[in-house]
Amino acid sequence: MIHSRNRRLRINESVRSLVRECTLTTNDFVMPIFVMEGENKEEPIASMPGIFRRSIDLTVKECKELFSLGVKAVNLYMKVSDDLKDNTGKEAWNKNGLMQNTIRAIKDAVPEMVVMPDVALDPYSIYGHDGIIENGKIINDATNDALARMSVSHAEAGADIVAPSDMMDGRVQVIREALEESGFTDVGILSYAAKYASSFYGPFRSALDSAPKDNMEIPKDKKTYQMDFHNSREALNEVFKDIEEGADIIMIKPGLPYLDIVSKVREAIDLPIAVYNVSGEYAMVKAASQNGWLDNDKTIIESLTCFKRAGADMIFTYFAKEAAMILNR
């Protein structure tokens, strides 16, 4: 006779929900947003169905809708005009730049929205790299100084949390010190601590025209600063260093192919963990669902719940708005 039957706790949805180990809510989502110059402009991103580049006015409108759906945080990326790009990234700390004006507009319209601007030089670089280049190499410390200026500029515009995604060594400490010295003691740092050199970023880079340029004199990819996807223990090394330097939240990127890293970091630290459900992951689900190979809504919720099960506290995802609508139904 069988005394222990696990199926008893799966007998119907009411019982299943009663014993469920993790639950997905709209409070878990951060929506990445692409912003462009202009007014009343919206451009679809071909490789990311349902995602757009928008001018500031339409971005503000989108943020209002997101907040009404329960999505309380956005992550901002700029589509920078070519004539503003150089090898210093100086447009990144222009007080009247696109990013700074976007932050102010969102905070004015939706004060309770958590605004997390991306901190990296690749959208502002003529080379498409996250750092300043000298003699064919990405220069670490000079890049850190630029990232600190960028972060302070974001804080001055009203950012709640800055999100350095560059993977330069020591940049969290440089940014933290710059924020403290400028009086922004309450501005948090969400550090991309374990960001891998991944093939899953393709649609994102096409959205911002931020891929490394084809130039024999510079690195053809980002493997000299982003992590090697073969490595696992290295992630903990990166995470511990960023925590020591003053990070408030730790990011792991990409998401679904790196759930082992999320789980391993969760076991090692108590800080909040963010995970990035990146553009390639989004594009794959959308392509499969549009071809009728996957159920769109069910696959979205299952994928996002995997991040919570692995130990993530928050999920950066292009599905945020759509997932919120599904959950609210």
Angle at 97 between CA 219 and CA 141, to 5 degrees: 40
Which residues are catalytic, by number?
Answer: 195, 253
Residue 272's pLDDT band (cuts 50, 70, 90)? very high
pLDDT over 70 percentage in the chain: 97
Predicted pLDDT at 202: 83
Q: What is the mean pLDDT of residues 268-273?
A: 97
Q: What is the mean pLDDT of residues 176-184?
A: 98
d(CA 37, CA 258) in angstroms, rounded, equals: 34
For the entire predicted model, the pTM comes to 0.94
- pLDDT, tens digit, 9 for 90 and up, residues 5-54: 999 999 999 999 999 999 999 999 999 999 999 999 999 999 999 999 99
Predicted pLDDT at 215: 67
Predicted pLDDT at 52: 96
Burial label for 21, CB within 10 Å (0-12, 13-18, 19+), is exposed
pLDDT at 205 > cutoff 80: no
d(CA 249, CA 277) in angstroms, rounded, equals: 16
Q: What is the mean pLDDT of residues 302-308?
A: 97
Predicted pLDDT at 217: 72
- pLDDT, tens digit, 9 for 90 and up, residues 222-235: 999 999 999 999 99
Residue 206's pLDDT band (cuts 50, 70, 90)? confident
- Averaged pLDDT of the chain: 95
pLDDT at 263 > cutoff 90: yes
Predicted pLDDT at 211: 66
Predicted pLDDT at 210: 62
Residue ranges with strand state E in the chain: 29-35, 42-44, 52-54, 73-78, 114-119, 132-134, 137-139, 161-164, 188-195, 249-253, 273-277, 314-317
Predicted pLDDT at 218: 79
Q: What is the mean pLDDT of residues 169-177?
A: 98
pLDDT at 307 > cutoff 70: yes
Q: What is the mean pLDDT of residues 150-169?
A: 97
Burial label for 260, CB within 10 Å (0-12, 13-18, 19+), is exposed
DSSP per-residue letters across 39-97: SS-EEE-TTSTT-EEE-HHHHHHHHHHHHHHT--EEEEEE---GGG-BSS-GGGG-TTS
- pLDDT, tens digit, 9 for 90 and up, residues 51-84: 999 999 999 999 999 999 999 999 999 999 999 9
pLDDT at 213 > cutoff 80: no
Predicted pLDDT at 209: 65
